[in-house]
Amino acid sequence: EKGIARWQSIITDSYDALDLAQTLVNTLPTIFKDEATHEGGVIRFWKRAQLAASHLSVFRRLECARLTALADYKIPSVLRNLGILRYERSLADRIDRGIEIEAGGQEELEIRAHTIAAIDQATIILQTKIPSATAIQLNDAFWVMSRKKSPNDKPPHRTRTIWY
């Protein structure tokens, strides 16, 4: 009962989805602390934590403007098929042949980081027409697009990981 009350307070005390995601990361790091060190810095993807906060915002009006794209394998594939993301030839060839990309390796981290950067840039552009648009909303729109398959689609990258 104490545990349930604690989670209810975490959800109801949060007004910002990113603050809730931070709380989830701090409270349950083995489930939510999706981070990597790259070139001396820490990259905080927090895909699961942001997804949980985004989903909970449906029940509790949380401000989602500070959430980023959810860097996994579906969104980069959509961005690649749209020509927004382009991979180096050798990486593209390996992805197209279904060869696994190392989890936490430079290529996987860069795919995920560039996905977030691309969504952020697209959000800025979209906000010139729809000022209230957020990166998480655009992410969700691209995720819906990923469900519609076309014969010309490039496959998503394959990576064994617990983070997506």
Rounded to the nearest integer, the mean pLDDT of the chain is 91
- pLDDT value for 60: 72
d(CA 80, CA 82): 5
If pLDDT is split at 50, 70 and 90, which confidence band does 109 have? Answer: very high
- pLDDT value for 56: 87
β-bridge partners, 36: 43
User: What would the mean pLDDT of 139-145 be, rounded to a whole number?
Assistant: 95
- What's the pTM? 0.85
Task: Name the residues annotated as catalytic.
Answer: 72
C-beta atoms surrounding 69 within 10 Å: 27
- pLDDT value for 146: 94
If pLDDT is split at 50, 70 and 90, which confidence band does 46 have? Answer: very high
C-beta atoms surrounding 112 within 10 Å: 27
Evaluate the CA torsion angle 66, 54, 38, 100 in order and state its sign. negative
Checking if the pLDDT of 160 tops 70, the result is yes
From residue 45, give the alpha-carbon distance in Å to each of 18, 52, 62, 142, 157.
Answer: 12, 13, 20, 18, 17
